[in-house]
Structure 1
């Protein structure tokens, strides 16, 4: 079923008419709308020409509504009230919910464990966590902020560096004990490796002085995120290449152990990103301040011997 196309006059002119009808003064209407008096007069004239009827008549320094204007004004005012209420509900719902997008790894190893603290500090704000490794499209998705891995920059987005992504081999204490209590870098060429297809492996091994043939495909369990790799390592399934910052608690509590002091990086980092024009939105500002504070606290703890798992 097709609806008849609306024959609406220019909405800018209708908005001017509504303000002028309330104030019965073009100067006051202009001040409210941030326009000149001449612009208000022009928009009213444009609307009258479009409708073929006069809406105002001059009276001293002000104006009065004609019979046609008096008939239209209350209906237009109610229509604007309805529009304002509709958008007001949307504004209220939007401000009452913060939507955060991040990777499976960051959600599972860090954010999900702490996000409740932010919500408790902001009891009037709901928080929704969306996880996925695809890049968020802020123009199309209902997401307020993203926490993503990469090198940046991203056009149109403000960004805050959270921490660099570095990596080093880790395994469970039980796995280490089963292999003599010490695993040298060259031993990793023959031991069970988790996600051996990961390009971090040859990068770290070369920095450790071990020559590797990158064309040789090694057998092993292949997992799709560092979160899964870390848990597989804790289960004793092999050695995983992991980011120490994300596994600080597991290192401190000896669920994981590092095999070397050497950490490598390929220039990636974790970043908080959000549309540049939304920088001052209160809920985004509060989340940014909270996140940077919490990351800073964990950075300090991660630099301690216990946090490094040493």
Structure 2
């Protein structure tokens, strides 16, 4: 296993935000990946991350809902707020079993005010639209976000799971600092259009689920250990009919990692790091041991031949199953109506 040796800093986007070259996705501490982590343990992990240099923390108002932001609010007391770069998101609402995506100005403002209160901070460093409201022109949503920047409530604006055209239209209203998308050895659909668009516009790239939602850390045995309420059990790639095939991919990554002297998780994470200096992966974990292992991925150096070998493995053993059971709320379906269609009342 590669040893952790500190976390370098990087510029995320071209608007001035500087973050740790690896962040921490905080969702799993509170929701979706089984029972929430006990609060004292979660805060201990967050403080350990910050102390070891992982200072870019990623949350959302929908994680819990709301409990993850409240957790971070407690963890950032006693001087920790000044040490970190805080990212949160708005735009998803769950009500009566239904999910709604919202991006109208009144909601954007109300969501921001609520997150500021839960996090107990005066300003959010990076505020993402978590999913794109396809009923509201992106220019309208961005107009309100721009006001929040001008008022000092947020510093930088981000988008998550946005199409290339949505990114371009948003960036024309106010510079986008970062775009967050799923990117890993087995999720590469963003490379065709989203990544080149971000690079053309000087937008940073934040890769969520860079370990394939834990698949590259544990392989198929991960599924056996999942709690019944872990949402990964509902994902197509973790269904038994696809898992047997996807195990071939994992086994080949394991064989290569053994030759490299690192874990398969470190190899998969190093592959994301090697995509460019504008890419910041944000693997999540609930265990300090895994956090240290993830930091160790920064020390894994891959040659062009090794990168090509990894990509050949993925191409030959192409993953089976979509990344979500329903792909509607992804960048593939995130175009919004033209600005001219918006009616003010």
Q: In which range does the TM-score fall when normalised by the shorter chain? A: under 0.3
Question: Structure 2 length normalisation: TM-score?
Answer: 0.20
Question: Structure 1 length normalisation: TM-score?
Answer: 0.22
Larger Rg: 1
Structure with greater contact order relative to length (CA < 8 Å, sep ≥ 6): 2
